[in-house]
Amino acid sequence: MNLKKTTLGLIAVAVTTIGMSTASACTALHLKAQDDGIVVGRTMEFGLDVKSDAVIVPAGTELLSSLPKEANGIKYTTKYGVVGLNFMGKNMIVDGMNEKGMYVGALYLPGYASYPKVKAETSSKSMAPEDYVVWLLGNFSSVEEIKKNYNNVILVQNPQKEIGGESFPGHFLITDKSGASIVIEPLDNALKIYENPLGVLTNSPTFDWHMINLSNYVNLSATNVPKIDLTGKTINSFGQGSGLVGIPGDFTPPSRFVRAVAFAQSAITLPTANETMPQVFHIMNSFDIPLGSIQEKAGDKIHYDYTQWTSVADLKNLSYSVKTYDNQSIRKIDVKKALDAAKSGVKVIKLKSEQAIEDISTNF
């Protein structure tokens, strides 16, 4: 095991390209409250600073997908207002929800996602993959609507210098306020859709593989294993948590998928979505990747994949909350209030801030 300390200053190489493997550690899940409220949590990990800010896109906003070689992709006007987080300061949303209580998140799928090249005859219905989230949120209000319309656009190659000249290798988690959930993956130059009964998604390999892999862990349980009586000896487990002995604890996507399913399925169902929001943050804390725990060598440089932000979307009460690496305080956006204040045109709320620490030394 090699855990030798390396220079953290190398994180400053924010304008260099990185390998796809360094950017593949996002986790998403949802819980349902007793009041039927659905609350979705998601982490964002990446090998360089993603520079995410909150973006407000009101209904009636005209959007155009930019494609390679100055080609113009699909042009449309949003039907619903959208709140979410962008990526690398670009005019794109990788995670968010709309005013109808639907969530969409783009998570990395390196090594599997593939897109066709744009064709002149179909460019008007083509779209860069990084624009897919806001198109889904801006035009549809439920999983059922998306099932009927997800393939009405063509996701095409659109190389990004920030990720080594590759097109954004994403797959997409969609969850609506009813709790219905699906995954859309760009495989073999076409979009494939899966039902997602457990509401969980991580990264590579493909979603169907992760679901099959769960069969390796049917022994896991949140209930402690009882003592056993052997010949002349009673054996007790050491402490709490014996039912989950064997749950994978590393940061790879398959292991995180198993843990996400285990924690989501064993979570206590709370009375309201409001109470469930901090509960989801607690669960997502278990997927935090500390800076330095994942290192990727790229020539003479080292990139550190770490948790840069965690978002929680309350689909019942229409709130979108986030905490960042630099500031663990939870900041909430009331979707309706933000859209009313934005009125028209895309607005940005800066998230970069220092950690606020409350001094309670004399609070007695």
Burial class (CB in 10 A: 0-12, 13-18, 19+), 217: middle
Tell me which DSSP letter residue 171 carries. E
CA distances from 275 to 255, 281, 283, 309 (A): 28, 11, 13, 21
User: 163 φ, ψ to 5°?
Assistant: -120, 40
Count CB-CB contacts under 10 A for residue 18: 21
Bridge partner list, 324: 309
Active site residue 26: yes
Nearest of 18, 20, 17 to residue 203 by alpha carbon = 20
What is residue 230's three-state secondary structure? Answer: strand
Query: What residue spans of the chain are helical by DSSP H?
Result: 132-139, 143-149, 207-213, 253-266, 273-285, 335-342
The DSSP bridge pattern shows strands 72-77 and 62-66 to be: antiparallel
Choose, from 26, 38, 56, 283, the residue flagged as catalytic: 26
Supply the residues annotated as catalytic.
26
